[in-house]
Amino acid sequence: MADWLRGRSADALLGVVRTRLAARGMAASNPIPDGHVVAVDPIAAIRADRYVRVPVLAGHARDETKLFPQLFAIRPDLGGVSGRLLDDEAVFALVSRYDPEAPPQTSVESWIPRVYLPAATPGTGFDARAAELDRLWFAAIRNDVLDALRSRQADVWSYEFEWDAQPAPFDTIFGAAHTFDLPFMFGNFGPSLFSRILFTRANERGRSALSKTMQARLGAFARHGNPNDERMSPGWPTWPGRIVFDADADSATVATRPPPY
């Protein structure tokens, strides 16, 4: 089977996905609960002790869903219309040629529909709609999985990523969005799809300090199965406690946070 797959072109494989797998509900990019590799009910499997028990460190970005505001359209209580005016082609074209050191070459109004502006409007603004979608989606998944794991083992930790010091207007458009913590964890600030709109000389000192701090914690976890080290503070509480990673212009800021519910 592996030889067959490697011998097909990308177009041929995508054709199978579209014409055969889609009809069986297996065309999504999500994990497929096939009952062999992934349990049909992963939460139930964890709670029944049918899983590989290892130390777990999970991350969550405060503004996860600002990368997917099109999904505001799926429910009236999320606003009922897409939160993005640009399609992917326009977004990718803009970010690939953007000069982050120059004055802003785009505006919030070019990206976000007027119904969600001002972005900070309580309840109906872009920030509030993104937070509600996150509550229903990313945060709910995190809570379900980590609660299940914590019922079976003690060594479960979680962090909240809140760095949003991008140049305007991207601090509002994206903020601490989905996957934006990964360059910090791996110390790789580019080149990448969004690096030209995120990272500038103005935010370099703070983000570099934050990256080193996050890498030190990840290193401790990789070495010992525990992100705590007596040389680093504050102490990292186990779930449902969390630690928050952020930075000002010059240095990293790390704080503990109580349970999210």
pLDDT by residue for the chain (261 residues), tens only, comes to 889 989 999 999 989 888 888 887 777 777 778 888 889 999 999 999 999 999 999 999 999 999 999 999 999 999 999 999 999 999 999 999 999 999 999 999 999 999 999 999 999 999 999 999 999 999 999 999 999 999 999 999 999 999 999 999 999 999 999 999 999 999 999 888 899 999 999 999 999 999 999 999 999 999 999 999 999 999 999 999 999 999 999 999 999 998 887
> Helix/strand/coil (H, E, C) string of 51-62?
CCCCCEEEEEEC
| Nearest one of 203, 117, 123 to 166, comparing CA atoms | 203
**Left (φ > 0), alpha (ψ -120 to 50) or beta: where does 82 sit?**
beta
H helix runs in 153-194, sequence order: 170-173, 182-186
Q: Which two tokens stand for residue 107?
A: 């505006």
Give the helix ranges, DSSP H, for the chain. 2-6, 10-16, 42-47, 88-97, 108-111, 126-136, 138-150, 170-173, 182-186, 195-198, 204-224
Q: For residue 89, what are the CA distances in angstroms to 43, 86, 93, 212?
A: 37, 8, 6, 34
Rounded to 5 degrees, what are φ and ψ at 77? -75, -5
Classify 41-257 by CATH class: alpha beta
Its pTM stands at 0.89
The residues of the chain that CATH labels 3.40.50.1820 are: 41-257
CB under 8 Å to 252, separation ≥6 — which residues?
Answer: 206, 209, 210, 212, 213, 214, 245, 246
- In a 3-state reduction of DSSP, which class is residue 255? strand
Residues 6+ apart with CB under 8 A from 106: 94, 98, 169
